[in-house]
Structure 1
Amino acid sequence: MGIAPSNLLPDGRGFQVKATWRRFHPLGKIGLAVLIAIFGAWLILFVTKGRFLKGPFERTVTALTERHTKVKGDFQLYFAPFSIKFLAQGLTVANPAWAERRSLFTARQVDARIAPLSLLFGKRHFYSLVLDDAAIDLEWNRAHDANSWTFGDGKGGKPLTFPRIDRASVAGTRLRYLDPRMRLLTDLQFDEINSIDARIDKTVGVNGTGRIRETPFRVTAKLYSPDETANRGRNQLSLRAWAGANVIDVKGNLPSVADIENVPLQTQATGRDLSELLAIIGVLIPQTRTYRLKSQLVKDGEVYRFTKLSGTFGNSDVAGELTVTNGGRIRLDSELTTRRLDIIDAAPFIGYNPDIVEAKGAAAAAAATGAAPNRILPDAAFPVERMQAFDAALKWKIGVVRSRNVPVSNIDLSLALDNGRLALSPLTFAMARGKVAADIILDARQRPAADSYDIRLAPTPLATLLAGYGVAEAGTSGMIHGRIKLAGRGDTIHDSLASATGRIAFIIPQGSFWTRNVQLSELDLGTFAYKMFQGRLKEPVQINCGLVAFTVRNGLASTDPILIDTRKNVITGRGGFSFKTEALDIGMRADGKKFSLFSGQSPVGIGGHFGVPSLNVISPELVGRSGAGLGLALLASPPAAVLAFVDVGDAKSAACGPVLAGAKAAAQRTKSGKPRDDVRPKKR
């Protein structure tokens, strides 16, 4: 009987091998076959370096990412032996069709060794990476619901993450970032990066340029992390940016190279005008003088929180917190406190340039806004488009306003800006131991803007209110309280008041009034009182009651009435002023209650303009004609009465009742109860 040669080994063990193979379990045979196949595949890949997989790689990545992927040069993909060796020369990964740039990623060469299991489980882990002449383009779409680095349908815009890299050599890398909603574009160039055991061996520098909205900027940054891992430990960031006349510094410790979410960063900003800085992101605030601010910044998605804010603007201080929400519409929320506010720094709140106010005065600042000569009301147009571009809420408390003539303190301001409607309500402050409460609305939703002013003055001592204008505190015990209620239309403060209708009334209850005959203001109250009271002020004027009131129609204010009853005289006035031209034309006279050969008081005229008022001794005839030049005497039918401005209070004199009630001229009575004919406009 013959034996087949294939079943025999030289030592005669062929039968044993074949028998052993037959005794293997079927699963064992499959496993062994798989191992042999894997080894064969590994051997083939190792020998060929996987170059034949170039085409399948391009097709597979293109299908998985929905981005066209191309390798122009050499390609390698194989196990070596326990890591994946990947090399691609001229690698290009396309951007989505909506992006401005065609390529998300290009590189002259990518050479990496990758931990195999990290591609399946957990965060990607590179044992080594060599990256030469790479360009990365990161973009958000205009709807801000997709970005270029989130593959697939791209909806949701996942955050940018980096793999762990143990050893790296990166040279000639550029990064471009575009966010249409923020209108932000940056183009950054990175210094060469070398790392060992995930630790960067030296400081990494970044330099670049960009544009945010319409403002170009440049930036330089350094990443200090010689003792920490680049993706798991502390990465000390130091960044400085220049935008216009502003310098911004940012410092902090990042948990990874690209992770700034919920990371406290120390920020500092300096510049010539804080409004220029916030205008970069489309936020409108009044102009400021040179500022210096510092705070802690934490970014949480679309919300940027600036806490522990402190610093100065001009000669004033500020502290508090600020939140900027960059959603579909920018919103600014802030709570601020100021211990001392310089009156010059407050000038921009009514439209003045503070530098001009400080150097040349209010008239020059008004002229700079386009106001005509002799005017002080600013004529700068409200920035309606910018007011409608963002929303804001502000609460601001101010301790003291530094001013020679305006005794203001304890300001409590609430501001709300909603799609172009600006409300300062409530606005309260102390003035000379009295209290002012105001509600001011500038509604730019309507064109031209609908504006209203409601300002209430609680009982306030005349002595401290007018101390800077020649009034002596010793000997002055009088009080004053009143209300200004106006409504107009216009896109500037001047235009809104020039079209305003309403009423102004200031009431003086019983008290005394004394002035020093020294010139302490442009409108010298000392000289005014000196002329009104026969040139002799040897003792305080004893006031029974007084009312200085105007009815305002279409920007023209007519006395309604001016009536001050003193122990010896009755002071009356006719005329008024114009918000349109800011001209003053008021005649005042004091009639003695008792006959005297020496009474002969000379009537006094208040003329000129708001910015440059004048005092003149005038004839009795001119007192009767006062206001005619402004057309005020023609206001025979003033608008409907405003409801009681001030409570009547404890008025005991019948003649003082209408005065203390703030009643109009037609309601005024003599002490005997007869209608007064000396406070009504002369009929024409």
Structure 2
Amino acid sequence: MADRDSPIVAADATPADPPQTAPPAKEKHRWPRPLVIALRVIGGILLALFLAWAILYVTKGRFLKGTFERIASSATGREVRVEGDFQFYFNPINVKYVSEGLTVSNPAWARGGNFFAAKRIEANVATFSFIWGERRINILDLQGGTVDLRWDEAGRRNSWTFSEEKGEPLDLPLIRRAVVAGTRVRYRDPRLRLTADITVDTVEARDDRFANSIRFRGDGTARGTPFTLWGALLSPNATVAGGHNQLALRINGVRTRADITGTLPGATEIEGAKLNADVRGQNLADAFAVFGIAVPDTRSYRLRSALTKQGDSWRFTGLRGRFGESDLAGRMTVRIGEPRLLLDADLVTRTLDIVDAGPFIGYNPNRLEAQGSAGTVTREGGRPRLLPDAPLRVEALRNFDARVSWKVARVRAEDFPVSDITLGLSLDDRLLKLSPFNFAMARGTVSSDITINARREPVFTDYDIRLSPTPMGTLLKGFGVAESGTSGTVRARVRMTGIGNSVRDSLGNSNGRIAVIIPRGTMWTRNVQLSELDIGLFVQKMFEKKLEKPVEINCGLVAFTVRGGIAAADPILIDTRKNVMLGRGGFSFRNETIDLAFRADGKQFSLFSGQSPVGIGGYFADPSLDVISPELLGRAGAGLGLGVVATPIASLLAFVDVGDAKSADCGPVLSGATARAQRDTKGRPRDDVGKGTTAKSEDGSRSKGERKEQRKKFLGIF
């Protein structure tokens, strides 16, 4: 039975649906707060830059004129002023700069004036290139500009380095296009004594192209020598397109013309330029003197080479040309730096004319060309002088250092058999060394080491000159010695020091020793007989047609001791199989006089012998041979007296040579020993050779007593 209290539910009723909920809303994406802040900052900066650009573009930045003057003056340490219009803005990304009446003062040490001034200057500067360190000016329009480039007296500071530190080399920005009018550049360098004033002609442009070449001209002085220059950039439009610019430059100075042609990477770029130099003139020393470099004088010359600049060095490569009648080739580098300019050269000459070699020891090349060998002789007080007296350019040696190698294949000269010259030259702060200085001479070799110390005053020179064994016939053939029949050799050494600023002064105040050694060999007999005046033997051989029969030389030494520029025989001793030749006297570098006598004593009996010395006197430039000496005249007088008093046969006794000459010990001779060390074959000291003493007056005169002693001892000794 149904529960009456139960609720009554309809039969078709369905269960109630469960309660429904609303679908969840989609969640929004949020950026990280730091990124949002960064983007807002960047946006603000870009907006600020845009506003700044817009303001600058609209106003042309004219309101920054005062700010520009203050900042530029503070940064450069110079007074910077703009008298007229001023513009500074981005156009659109490159910086556009315009100013009228701009002046930048010189540094205080320059004592006034402006380093730079321009009536009007307009420039388009590549912004990003400046940020990354490459300074590039796309367009430069300069009107009425003046630039004052100068160094101070000490060469430490310059006007274009905006600091009190050491002056830097001039480093111009790369200029793609330059339009200038009425621009002037001044340059001053007290150390080089160089001044230049250059004016740039007006350059016009139409439709972004230059209507003509950029031409310039100017003048100046280099170490007191005036010069003029003019030139042009012949293809400026190629530079605008990023190509190369053709340069033509001519410089005219005293007796010198230099033409520089080639291409520049940019209108103001020298680094890496491909140039050619053609220099000609009357004297090569003139061109080098512009840079303060001292080189020997030359006859007229012309040299060509490629020219490049790398850093502080100017390089002349493929050098070729002539000076006088000699050729020259090689390469040369001039480095402009500290502590001095450096000249580095490697040179080659196929043929050196003897006239062109003269200036290297102080002779005037034009005088040699006009007069030949007579051009080496001058006259002082009526006396001929041969030694050159051109002074060493000591002041010029202060300006530069040098390293030079020069090789000469052949010397063109009569009776001067020199070839294969090798010269190494070094100059370091006025210390000049010629080492090695070697050359072949008459199938022998001369090796030299010469040091010229110009750090001292007066100049001090050390000579060390050595001749290797050389065939005597070849060496002396120009002096009458024939090669045929002569097999002897000679070797020699000069070891001296001298004081003086010229070759003449240096040798005139020299000390040391000169020695010529003759080892065993043979010599054509006619020369020996003429020197010893052995009349009987000479005539006998002449009639027997044996003039070319050689005379055997055991050993010989011709040596001089030099004191105060006067050389005394110490000793002259030549030992042959039949004779002993002795010499006395000497010569003077001071007044270039000669006073020598040679006498041959026979080792064998000779009926007719003058036994009289042959005298050599006069001067270096005018020597004289005296074969009729007082001794020979005395013997002739004695013979005449005997002939009158006794018989004609008795007169011959005055010319008899008993043949008692002492043979020499060749050991001391071949070692070049002094007279005091000479011995005969029995080991006894020789008493018939000089002792190397000096006692002659400056003018070469002797007292009456000295002349008497001279006659007694042949010609005496100094």
- Per the alignment, residue 142 of structure 2 pairs with 131
Tell whether 2:289 aligns with 1:270: no
- Per the alignment, residue 656 of structure 2 pairs with none
- Per the alignment, residue 345 of structure 2 pairs with 334
Deviations 1:599-633 (A, max 9, x none): 33653111111111111123364999xxxxxxxxx
Q: 1:379 deviation in Å?
A: 2.4
- Per the alignment, residue 426 of structure 2 pairs with 416
- Per the alignment, residue 196 of structure 2 pairs with 186
Tell whether 2:465 aligns with 1:466: no
- Per the alignment, residue 667 of structure 2 pairs with 657
- RMSD of aligned Cα (Å): 3.6
For the Cα contact (< 8 Å) 2:175–2:267, is it kept in 1?
no
Report the Cα distance in structure 2 between the residues aligned to 1:54 and 1:178, rounded to whole angstroms.
32
Deviations 1:24-64 (A, max 9, x none): x9999999998998887777767766554443443343344
- Per the alignment, residue 29 of structure 2 pairs with none
Q: Secondary structure at the match of 2:461?
A: strand
- Per the alignment, residue 586 of structure 2 pairs with 576
Q: Secondary structure at the match of 2:384?
A: coil
Tell whether 2:271 aligns with 1:261: yes
Report the Cα distance in structure 2 between the residues aligned to 1:263 and 1:195, rounded to whole angstroms.
25
Q: How does 1:477-516 map to 2 (within 5 A)?
A: 477-514=487-524
Tell me the amino acid that sits aligned with residue 349 of structure 2. T
Report the Cα distance in structure 2 between the residues aligned to 1:496 and 1:119, rounded to whole angstroms.
61
- Per the alignment, residue 538 of structure 1 pairs with 547
- Per the alignment, residue 15 of structure 1 pairs with none
2:104 to 93, 107, 110: 93
- Per the alignment, residue 226 of structure 2 pairs with 216
Q: Secondary structure at the match of 1:352?
A: coil
- Per the alignment, residue 455 of structure 2 pairs with 445
For the Cα contact (< 8 Å) 2:377–2:621, is it kept in 1?
no
Q: How does 1:212-611 map to 2 (within 5 A)?
A: 212-230=222-240, 232-328=242-338, 329-361=340-372, 364-367=375-378, 373-514=383-524, 534=538, 536=542, 538-544=547-553, 545-600=555-610, 602-611=612-621
Query: Per the alignment, do residues 94 and 493 of structure 1 end up closer, same or farther by CA in structure 2, a change over 3 Å counting?
Result: same
Q: Secondary structure at the match of 1:58?
A: helix
Query: Per the alignment, do residues 530 and 306 of structure 1 end up closer, same or farther by CA in structure 2, a change over 3 Å counting?
Result: farther
- Per the alignment, residue 642 of structure 1 pairs with none
Tell me the amino acid that sits aligned with residue 489 of structure 2. M
Deviations 1:235-291 (A, max 9, x none): 111111112211111122111111112333211211111112112211111111111
Report the Cα distance in structure 2 between the residues aligned to 1:678 and 1:121, rounded to whole angstroms.
90
Tell me the amino acid that sits aligned with residue 270 of structure 1. R
For the Cα contact (< 8 Å) 1:424–1:440, is it kept in 2?
yes
For the Cα contact (< 8 Å) 2:137–2:173, is it kept in 1?
no
Report the Cα distance in structure 2 between the residues aligned to 1:526 and 1:194, rounded to whole angstroms.
89
Tell me the amino acid that sits aligned with residue 384 of structure 1. V
Query: Per the alignment, do residues 420 and 497 of structure 1 end up closer, same or farther by CA in structure 2, a change over 3 Å counting?
Result: same
Query: Per the alignment, do residues 620 and 139 of structure 1 end up closer, same or farther by CA in structure 2, a change over 3 Å counting?
Result: closer
Tell me the amino acid that sits aligned with residue 467 of structure 1. K
Report the Cα distance in structure 2 between the residues aligned to 1:216 and 1:413, rounded to whole angstroms.
34
- Per the alignment, residue 28 of structure 2 pairs with none
Report the Cα distance in structure 1 between the residues aligned to 2:54 and 2:300, rounded to whole angstroms.
71
Q: 1:163 deviation in Å?
A: 5.5
Report the Cα distance in structure 1 between the residues aligned to 2:632 and 2:428, rounded to whole angstroms.
50
Query: Per the alignment, do residues 465 and 149 of structure 1 end up closer, same or farther by CA in structure 2, a change over 3 Å counting?
Result: same
Tell me the amino acid that sits aligned with residue 551 of structure 2. Q
Query: Per the alignment, do residues 40 and 550 of structure 1 end up closer, same or farther by CA in structure 2, a change over 3 Å counting?
Result: closer
Report the Cα distance in structure 1 between the residues aligned to 2:498 and 2:600, rounded to whole angstroms.
34
Q: Secondary structure at the match of 1:98?
A: helix
Deviations 1:128-151 (A, max 9, x none): 554322222334455656544454
Report the Cα distance in structure 2 between the residues aligned to 1:118 and 1:577, rounded to whole angstroms.
76
Q: How does 1:141-160 map to 2 (within 5 A)?
A: 141=152, 147-151=158-162, 157=168, 159-160=170-171
For the Cα contact (< 8 Å) 2:526–2:538, is it kept in 1?
no
Aligned length: 623
**TM-score of the pair, normalised by structure 1:** 0.81
Larger Rg, first or second structure (1 or 2): 2
For the Cα contact (< 8 Å) 1:463–1:471, is it kept in 2?
yes
Between 95-104 and 308-317, report the one with greater CA deviation.
95-104
- Per the alignment, residue 658 of structure 2 pairs with none
For the Cα contact (< 8 Å) 2:514–2:560, is it kept in 1?
yes
Report the Cα distance in structure 1 between the residues aligned to 2:456 and 2:53, rounded to whole angstroms.
75
For the Cα contact (< 8 Å) 1:574–1:623, is it kept in 2?
no
Q: 1:479 deviation in Å?
A: 0.9
Q: Secondary structure at the match of 2:356?
A: helix
Query: Per the alignment, do residues 541 and 589 of structure 1 end up closer, same or farther by CA in structure 2, a change over 3 Å counting?
Result: farther
Query: Per the alignment, do residues 561 and 198 of structure 1 end up closer, same or farther by CA in structure 2, a change over 3 Å counting?
Result: farther
- Per the alignment, residue 184 of structure 2 pairs with 174
Report the Cα distance in structure 2 between the residues aligned to 1:116 and 1:509, rounded to whole angstroms.
84
Query: Per the alignment, do residues 219 and 664 of structure 1 end up closer, same or farther by CA in structure 2, a change over 3 Å counting?
Result: same
- Per the alignment, residue 634 of structure 1 pairs with none
For the Cα contact (< 8 Å) 2:431–2:452, is it kept in 1?
yes
Tell me the amino acid that sits aligned with residue 356 of structure 1. R
For the Cα contact (< 8 Å) 2:532–2:613, is it kept in 1?
no
Report the Cα distance in structure 1 between the residues aligned to 2:347 and 2:268, rounded to whole angstroms.
32
Q: Secondary structure at the match of 1:277?
A: helix
Gaps of 5+ in 2: 1-35, 635-662, 692-712
Tell whether 2:112 aligns with 1:110: no
Tell me the amino acid that sits aligned with residue 400 of structure 1. R
Query: Per the alignment, do residues 148 and 386 of structure 1 end up closer, same or farther by CA in structure 2, a change over 3 Å counting?
Result: closer
For the Cα contact (< 8 Å) 1:71–1:92, is it kept in 2?
yes
For the Cα contact (< 8 Å) 2:534–2:609, is it kept in 1?
no
Q: Secondary structure at the match of 1:193?
A: coil
Query: Per the alignment, do residues 198 and 662 of structure 1 end up closer, same or farther by CA in structure 2, a change over 3 Å counting?
Result: farther
For the Cα contact (< 8 Å) 2:335–2:341, is it kept in 1?
yes
Tell me the amino acid that sits aligned with residue 340 of structure 1. T
Report the Cα distance in structure 1 between the residues aligned to 2:80 and 2:53, rounded to whole angstroms.
25
Between 403-412 and 375-384, report the one with greater CA deviation.
375-384
Query: Per the alignment, do residues 197 and 611 of structure 1 end up closer, same or farther by CA in structure 2, a change over 3 Å counting?
Result: same
For the Cα contact (< 8 Å) 2:247–2:262, is it kept in 1?
yes
Q: 1:78 deviation in Å?
A: 5.7
Query: Per the alignment, do residues 126 and 558 of structure 1 end up closer, same or farther by CA in structure 2, a change over 3 Å counting?
Result: closer
Query: Per the alignment, do residues 301 and 531 of structure 1 end up closer, same or farther by CA in structure 2, a change over 3 Å counting?
Result: farther
Q: 1:469 deviation in Å?
A: 2.2
Q: Secondary structure at the match of 2:366?
A: helix
Query: Per the alignment, do residues 528 and 149 of structure 1 end up closer, same or farther by CA in structure 2, a change over 3 Å counting?
Result: same
**TM-score of the pair, normalised by structure 2:** 0.77
- Per the alignment, residue 636 of structure 1 pairs with none
Query: Per the alignment, do residues 658 and 45 of structure 1 end up closer, same or farther by CA in structure 2, a change over 3 Å counting?
Result: closer
Query: Per the alignment, do residues 228 and 487 of structure 1 end up closer, same or farther by CA in structure 2, a change over 3 Å counting?
Result: same
